[in-house]
Amino acid sequence: MGTRGQAAQPTARPTRLMTLAALAVAELLLVILAYQVMASIECRQTEIEAACRALRSMTARGLAVITVMALYFWLRPTGYRALADRAIAHPGHRIWMLFHLLGLVLIFLPLPLFGTAEISHAFTPTLIFLTIGGLLTAAGAIFWVTPLRVWRDWMRNDSYLLPLALFTGFLTPDFADLMRPLWEWSTLSSLTFFLVFLVLTLTGFDVGVHPPTYEIGVEGFWVQIASQCSGVEGIALITIFMGFYAVLMRPELRQKRFWLILFPLAVFASWLFNILRIAILIVIGARVSPEHALNGFHSYAGWLMFTALALLIVLIAHLAQWLHRTPLTTHPTATIRHDPLAARIVPFIVMMLSGVFVSAFWPDPEAGYPVRAALMALPLLFFLPALRDLWRRPSIEAALVGLVIGVAWITTAATQEPPQAETPSLLWISTRLLGTILLVPIIEELFFRGYLLRRLHRDTLVWTVLAVGVSSLLFGFMHDRLLAGTLAGVAFGLLYLRRSETSDAIVAHIVANATIAIAALLTAKWALI
């Protein structure tokens, strides 16, 4: 085990293990965007409601698994280095990446096959595609990193701690269900009910209550504070993450202080956090949209908010000197700002998370674009040193290709403009133009061309076609117009391969989006952007 505060030493080039971690995060966010934002599946309309609800829990399970994996590699740098070195010495066969990509295609195939609006009525084939695709995606990525025997030897030396922790993280929603009866206390329900009422009253709302059934409402929107509103998801996440942290840091952690002082405070904080969550849910249902409060905020925000709280508590535990036997060691954090791999991946992850965030708080995610633009700008500013190192002078051909793509996008757009309730505000127009012209092109090209295409590309025709095709297809899924987006991705990919410079693809993307944005600004056809 490494000492507290250590970070894994950077290798000369990104390892397959780092690629696996990045792909896991990015692909999970793409699945969330595809199946919970673009094509939300309504389980009550499906043929197999129980299977549908189990499938929807995979988002929470995937989020917990990825978080546990990130905690492990952060707190066990020696374990990470041992596995990374083995993966470099014994890489898996390239055929496994083909299985991984085939799995991704199967996961997203139901969207164009059945349509986003009717996917709930074709749930059985969708479930088959998602199950087979998920298994192929996971197996392909794991065995592409290194063969099974290498994984087995490494896990045996580490007492199988990581797979046990990942399995525990996968079962987090089930632990929450098992813990729910422990919170079905009438006194606790009454206190939660009263504090939600107090929060809403103090914030100026006229609150209606029905104490016998624990129902509370504002402006005609009512909820019942039952066991489902107990916040056990947060308690389960905190228990699992803090337990994992205690196991990893057991030689130097003061266990009694950790469990007898910090853990009860963390549970109490999670309970208070849940009261605030219920109050926000009621306000959204009353002032924004009842449907969005129940199917949007309730679905997206809960696990994200509780995961963030659990990670914050673990971070506090890691930085609290009184919980550890050894002194805190500080290390410079500036080096990560120069990390080219992080600069290519982290902004894309933040962009995807920002989409989930605005979908949770705004019934029309487009209305929350100013917040999303601010969130996208933060990682670009943070990684500015690395971006400067990556930047090269672009070619004039890149700008010309971007102009052609922009004009083609405009001329092939739908002739019928969707109805708009009102003219967007100046703030929305400004941030939308900033995001469309600058932020999104940089973030998407750093990830799709600078990272994904670059990692898939080999000096053979087959792998070149595969790298361009896969990165472009995934890029197309990010846009409402799949075919046009995929073809644009092919053009950006060929530009990148021409000089192996991300700056060419970025400039082409900027020029294309700027052309489209100017047309939208002149014609007020905001659907173009």
Q: Quote the pTM value.
A: 0.72
165 and 204 in a single domain? The answer is no
38 and 124 in a single domain? The answer is yes
CA gap 103, 92 in Å, rounded: 17
Last residue of a domain, one of 170, 192, 207: 170
CA gap 325, 444 in Å, rounded: 44
Q: What's the confidence (pLDDT) of residue 12? A: 38
CA gap 259, 392 in Å, rounded: 52
Q: What's the confidence (pLDDT) of residue 13? A: 47
- Over its C-alpha atoms, the chain yields an Rg (Å, rounded) of 24
State the residue range of the domain holding 116: 1-170
Q: Which amino acid is at 284?
A: I
Which residues, in sequence order, are bridge partners of residue 324?
A: 253
Q: What's the confidence (pLDDT) of residue 494? A: 95
156 and 283 in a single domain? The answer is no
Query: Count of alpha carbons within 13 Å of 98, Cβ hemisphere only?
Result: 7
Last residue of a domain, one of 301, 331, 361: 331
Q: What's the confidence (pLDDT) of residue 99? A: 92
Q: Three-state SS for 232? A: helix
Sign of the four-CA dihedral 39, 42, 45, 50: positive
9 and 24 in a single domain? The answer is yes
312 and 363 in a single domain? The answer is no
Total domain count, the chain: 3
Contact by Cβ (8 Å): 475, 110:
no
Q: What's the confidence (pLDDT) of residue 397? A: 93
Report in angstroms the alpha-carbon separations of 108 from 41, 80, 103, 303, 421. 14, 31, 9, 23, 32
Last residue of a domain, one of 170, 194, 220: 170
pLDDT along the chain (529 residues), means of 10: 40 63 78 72 72 76 84 84 88 89 89 80 87 92 92 86 86 79 71 90 91 88 75 81 89 92 92 88 84 65 78 89 79 68 87 81 82 94 92 92 94 67 81 94 95 85 88 86 92 93 95 94 81
87 and 180 in a single domain? The answer is no
CA gap 171, 381 in Å, rounded: 37
Q: What's the confidence (pLDDT) of residue 382? A: 92
Q: What's the confidence (pLDDT) of residue 177? A: 76
